[in-house]
Structure 1
Amino acid sequence: MNKIQNKTVLITGANRGIGKALVTEFINAGAAKVYAAVRNVKSAQPLVDEFGDRVVPIYADLSDLASIKQAAQTATDVDVVINNAGIISSLDILDESALGEIDTVFDVNVKGLLRVAQAFAPVLKANGGGTLVQLNSVASLKDFDGLSTYCASKAASYSFTQALRTKLAEQGTQLVSVHPGPIATDMGDEAGFTDVAEPPSLVATGVIRALENNEFFVFPDSVARQFHEAYQGFAKTFVTPEAVEA
Structure 2
Amino acid sequence: MDIQGSVAIVTGGNRGIGEGFVEVLIEEGAAKVYAGARDPASAQHLVDRYPGKVVAIALDVTKPETIAAAAAACPDVSVVVNNAGAFHNKLLIGADDISAARDEMEVNYFGPLQMARAFAPILKANGGGAILNVLSVGGIVAVPNMGGYSPSKFAMRAAGNCIRAELAGQGTSVTSLIVGSVDTRMASHVKGAKEQPSDIARAAMKGITRGVDEIDTDRFAVESRAALARDPKGMERGMAKMLHAKELSTGR
Which stretches in structure 2 are left out of the alignment for 5+ residues? Answer: 231-252
Please name the residue that 2:64 is paired with: 65
1:103, distance to aligned residue in structure 2 (A):
1.3
Mapped partners of 2:225, 2:122: distance in 1: 32
Task: Work out which of the residue numbers 205, 210, 223 in structure 2 matches 1:226.
Answer: 223
- Which runs of structure 1 show a deviation greater than 6 angstroms over 4 or more consecutive aligned residues? none
SS at match of 1:110: helix
Cα gap change, 1:231 to 1:176, in 2 (>3 Å): farther
Cα gap change, 1:67 to 1:232, in 2 (>3 Å): farther
8 Å contact 2:101–2:147 — kept in the other structure? no
Please name the residue that 1:198 is paired with: 195
Please name the residue that 1:147 is paired with: 146
2:37 maps to a residue whose letter is V
SS at match of 2:107: helix
2:194 maps to a residue whose letter is A
Please name the residue that 2:247 is paired with: none
SS at match of 1:15: coil
8 Å contact 1:184–1:194 — kept in the other structure? no
Please name the residue that 2:169 is paired with: 170
1:229, distance to aligned residue in structure 2 (A):
3.6
Mapped partners of 1:124, 1:131: distance in 2: 7
1:110-134 residue CA offsets vs partner (Å, 9 max, x unmatched): 1101110110001101111100110
1:82 maps to a residue whose letter is V
Please name the residue that 1:236 is paired with: none
Please name the residue that 1:240 is paired with: none
SS at match of 1:10: strand
- 1:160 and 2:159 aligned: yes
Mapped partners of 2:53, 2:222: distance in 1: 33
1:77, distance to aligned residue in structure 2 (A):
0.2
Which stretches in structure 1 are left out of the alignment for 5+ residues? Answer: 234-246
Q: TM-score, normalised by structure 1?
A: 0.89
1:96, distance to aligned residue in structure 2 (A):
5.0
**Any residues of structure 2 matched to 1:1-246 within 5 Å, and which?**
3-95=2-94, 97-189=96-188, 192-229=189-226
SS at match of 2:131: strand
Mapped partners of 2:193, 2:143: distance in 1: 15
- The alignment covers a number of residue pairs equal to 230
SS at match of 2:182: coil
8 Å contact 2:141–2:228 — kept in the other structure? no
SS at match of 2:57: strand
Mapped partners of 2:16, 2:156: distance in 1: 20
Mapped partners of 1:232, 1:187: distance in 2: 27
Query: After alignment, is 155-164 or 140-149 more displaced?
Result: 140-149
Mapped partners of 1:215, 1:93: distance in 2: 33
Cα gap change, 1:12 to 1:76, in 2 (>3 Å): same
1:149, distance to aligned residue in structure 2 (A):
1.1
8 Å contact 2:132–2:207 — kept in the other structure? no
1:151, distance to aligned residue in structure 2 (A):
0.3
SS at match of 1:102: helix
1:232, distance to aligned residue in structure 2 (A):
7.9
8 Å contact 1:136–1:157 — kept in the other structure? yes
8 Å contact 2:22–2:33 — kept in the other structure? yes
1:201, distance to aligned residue in structure 2 (A):
1.6
8 Å contact 1:91–1:98 — kept in the other structure? no
SS at match of 2:89: coil
Cα gap change, 1:135 to 1:3, in 2 (>3 Å): same
Mapped partners of 1:163, 1:79: distance in 2: 20
What RMSD over aligned residues (CA atoms) do the two structures have, in Å?
1.6
1:148, distance to aligned residue in structure 2 (A):
2.4
Query: After alignment, is 89-98 or 196-205 more displaced?
Result: 89-98
